[in-house]
Structure 1
Amino acid sequence: MSTRLEALPHRHVLTLPTLPSAVRLSRETAERALAEWGINLRHPAIGPALLILGELVTNTIRHAATVSPQVTVIYAAGKDCLAFAVHDRHPYQPPLYGAVTDAGGGGLATVMELTLGLGGTAVVRGDADGKGKSIWITLPL
């Protein structure tokens, strides 16, 4: 699996208002982009990847919408790797790996269990100004 996101040849960026419709639109956009990039939508990682994406966008709508009027999703892929990020302008950076052991972790625990179960990685990257973050998920294909 490629570990350098800069090396992934396919990229797409989508910015939407932090409204419930963003969940559906982000998933539909992912499906279109993957199909355009020649990635089989029946690959075993794609269903869980779309669920992970939906959970992350839902979390942004639930927890960041008051300070982040937009959510940005960055999609990237290569022959053996799928990566995406969900970005908002809320400063809180959740502890991803703690969510797996936290019984009340909810959607983030699901995100981490699926990501790790697929052999993927997750990381939170704060914005340079400290007022936002991106959660990056990388999955092998």
Structure 2
Amino acid sequence: MMTGLAALPTLPHRLVLTLPAKGHAVRTARETAEQILVQWGIGLRHPHIGPALLVLAELVTNSVRHAAELSPTITVLLAAGPDTLAFAVHDKHPLRPELYGSRAKASGGGLATVTELITDVGGTAVVRGDAKGPGKSIWITVPL
């Protein structure tokens, strides 16, 4: 289902969370991420965690708003190591949004904010399609 998990072999902490594509998924994803980061010893006051949590909430919101009809569930993957936080939001909708470039900037809104926040903290954002099926994941990495 989610491509990219195998690409994170050096990150010792991992959590996979499957949620219904409903409004409450945004709060659940953010609160779960906050709790698990603390359990992993990553302080919520780290300067990159606030932007990362905002981006996570925006990506889950987008999946709930735009993919729920074709994807009744969304999956959130969180992974972390000593110097990296990585997470992805996966849904089964075939649309793969542009995160960079003139079309992404022209569309404005949430994804423009996502790329700006992640770039500002030295992170990356990538859209990856499923190897099998029409879905996609938006992967974010943030240095710690």
The question of a shared fold, defined as TM-score above 0.5 by the shorter chain, is answered with yes
Category of TM-score, reference length = shorter chain: over 0.9
Q: Matches of residues 1-141 of structure 1 in structure 2 within 5 Å?
A: 5-98=8-101, 102-141=105-144
Gapped regions of structure 1 (runs ≥ 5): none
Report the CA distance between 1:102 and its aligned residue. Answer: 1.8
For the 8 Å contact 2:128–2:138, the answer to whether it is kept is yes
Change (3 A) 1:99 1:28: farther
Report the CA distance between 1:58 and its aligned residue. Answer: 0.4
Report the CA distance between 1:8 and its aligned residue. Answer: 0.3
Give the TM-score, by structure 1 length: 0.93
Report the CA distance between 1:62 and its aligned residue. Answer: 0.9
SS in 2 for 1:6: coil
For the 8 Å contact 1:99–1:105, the answer to whether it is kept is no
Report the CA distance between 1:104 and its aligned residue. Answer: 3.0
For the 8 Å contact 1:83–1:139, the answer to whether it is kept is yes
Aligned length: 138
Partners of 2:56 and 2:104 in 1: how far apart?
A: 21
Partners of 2:77 and 2:69 in 1: how far apart?
A: 21
Change (3 A) 1:68 1:48: same
* 1:13-67 alpha-carbon deviations (Å, 9 max, x no partner): 0000000000000000100110010011110011111100000000001110010
* 1:93-125 alpha-carbon deviations (Å, 9 max, x no partner): 111113786243200000000000000011111
Q: Which runs of 4+ in 1 moved over 6 A?
A: none
Q: Which amino acid aligns with 1:72?
A: T
For the 8 Å contact 2:98–2:104, the answer to whether it is kept is no
Partners of 1:53 and 1:100 in 2: how far apart?
A: 22
Change (3 A) 1:128 1:101: closer
Partners of 1:26 and 1:100 in 2: how far apart?
A: 28
